[in-house]
Amino acid sequence: MKMRFFVVIGATLALTACSKDDATTATTGTDAVDATDGTDATDADGTDATDADGTDATDADGSDATDADGSDATDADGSDATDADGSDATDATDGSDATDAIDATDGSDATDGSDATDGTDATDGTDATDGTDGTDGPATPFDTLGGKPAVEALIDTFIGKVAGDAKINAYFLNKTNNLARLRLCLVKQVSELLSAPGITYPKAGEGPDSDGCRNMLAAHAGMGVSKADFADLLGHIVTSAQDLSVPDAIIGVASQVFGAMETDIVEDTTNDATIYQRVGRKPAIVTVIDDFVDLVVADPEINGFFGTANVARLKTCLVRQVTQVAGGPALYGAEVEVEVVGGDGTGIPCLDMEASHNGMQDDQGNPVTKADFDALVGHVAAAATANNVTEADLGALAGVLVSLCPAIVADQATCPQ
């Protein structure tokens, strides 16, 4: 509007500056002429400047009509005024591109190529959305997060949290797991979720990819993952992201996407399909074993068998054994190094029952008897009962333990047949 106003003023001044002898009247429709040399007045784009009645307008000297600040005026049709060579109109003060950066007629981007939405001056050509030129499009969440290094940091944080969570780490602390591949697949899965270019992860019904990554349904089949297990896993994803200051918007999207995977991962929707789930998962079993070992150590009839035992390792092995017997995910004999470090710093795997009790004697040189075995089973029952294990579940556990009698007792003939 400001530029149009100055054009009209300029045109009016041009008309009043010409004498009746120097210019033809508006009714003839001929061009207004310059008072000095008689030539036609033109706009910067080479067309005749016109005033309100359609006749050509000129400044008093015949030059192009200009705004009061010296900048080029707009044409009569409202289009951008251009310099004589067709270049962008320039600011009267410093010759730089006009700061409004938009076309007077349609609000489109300025001819210098910058993005009108970024608010920066026309010379930098940047896009306020992602810092790149407009042809690159908006940044993906993957880029916003920091690319692959940031995703790897997120997964490493997540794995650390899972490994330290007794409620769910039994699924992962088996040497049969390929933890390096697990990490690679998790990085790939999260990268795809964040719209990383060129990254895909197997979907339901698809086979493993070239890295051995499997779709969620296939990867978790038969694991017995409960709804509680899944909730804990999802919680660690969220807290890991928060620890690394991932934007809330990205965390929200990730939570929704991973949450939608629940039906492919969870097999125990009521958290009670196994004794392991019913008693309270690994934390409850750890408590039972702690109490059991305390009872054994306090029992003079059998504590002589454990005088030189590595108690930490003993507890680890017993927890894994009971977890497996209870239908949990730990595999006895498949311990990872972090679980089986002995007092001397050497990894000591849990041995099978026969190997670990073969030739065992107490501090008096006596072998394990059926009475010793029954005392052990009794302490297991007492510890379990004290921790609210139901009679039915206790009976199931006792049945499995009793079946181990021939592998533990020196005189196998004394064990139930």
Q: For tokens 């790939």, name the residue.
A: 188
CA dist., res. 144 & res. 244, Å (int): 13
Q: Of the CATH numbers 3.40.605.10, 1.10.10.10, 1.10.490.10, 1.10.3720.10, which one belongs to the domain with range 142-265?
A: 1.10.490.10
pLDDT of the residue at 127: 41
Show the tokens assigned to 292: 């059991």
Rounded to the nearest 10 degrees, the angle between the axes of helix 227-243 and helix 147-163 is 130
CA dist., res. 274 & res. 277, Å (int): 5
pLDDT of the residue at 372: 97
Q: For tokens 């410093």, name the residue.
A: 94
Q: What is the pLDDT along the chain (417 residues), one digit of tens a residue?
A: 433 333 333 333 333 333 334 333 333 334 433 433 444 444 444 444 444 444 444 444 444 444 444 444 444 444 444 444 444 444 434 444 444 433 433 444 444 444 434 434 434 434 444 434 444 567 899 999 999 999 999 999 999 999 999 999 999 999 999 999 999 999 999 999 999 999 999 999 999 999 999 999 999 999 999 999 999 999 999 999 999 999 999 999 889 999 999 999 999 999 999 999 999 999 999 999 999 999 999 999 999 999 988 888 889 899 999 999 999 999 998 888 767 655 554 567 888 999 999 999 999 999 999 999 999 999 999 999 999 999 999 999 999 999 999 999 999 999 998
The angle subtended at Cα 281 by Cα 279 and Cα 284, nearest 5°, is 65
CA dist., res. 44 & res. 316, Å (int): 88
CA dist., res. 196 & res. 187, Å (int): 11
In the chain, where are the structural domains located?
A: 142-265, 275-414
- With 0.85 as the threshold, say if the pTM is over it: no
Name the residue among 44, 56, 51 with its Cα closest to residue 6: 51
pLDDT of the residue at 247: 93
Task: Cite the DSSP H helix spans in 101-146.
Answer: 141-145
CA dist., res. 41 & res. 250, Å (int): 61
Is residue 362 a contact partner of residue 304, using CB atoms and an 8 Å limit? yes
Is residue 286 a contact partner of residue 317, using CB atoms and an 8 Å limit? no
Amino acid present at 47: T
CA dist., res. 392 & res. 397, Å (int): 9
What is the SS3 assignment for 44? coil
Judge whether 142-265 and 275-414 match in fold. Answer: yes
CA atoms within 13 A on the CB side of 320: 27
Amino acid present at 49: A
CA dist., res. 233 & res. 174, Å (int): 17
Tell me which DSSP letter residue 413 carries: G
CATH topology of domain 275-414: Globin-like (1.10.490)
Is residue 322 a contact partner of residue 288, using CB atoms and an 8 Å limit? yes
pLDDT of the residue at 335: 86
Residues 6+ apart with CB under 8 A from 174: 329, 330, 331, 334, 335, 336
pLDDT of the residue at 7: 35
Residues 6+ apart with CB under 8 A from 25: none
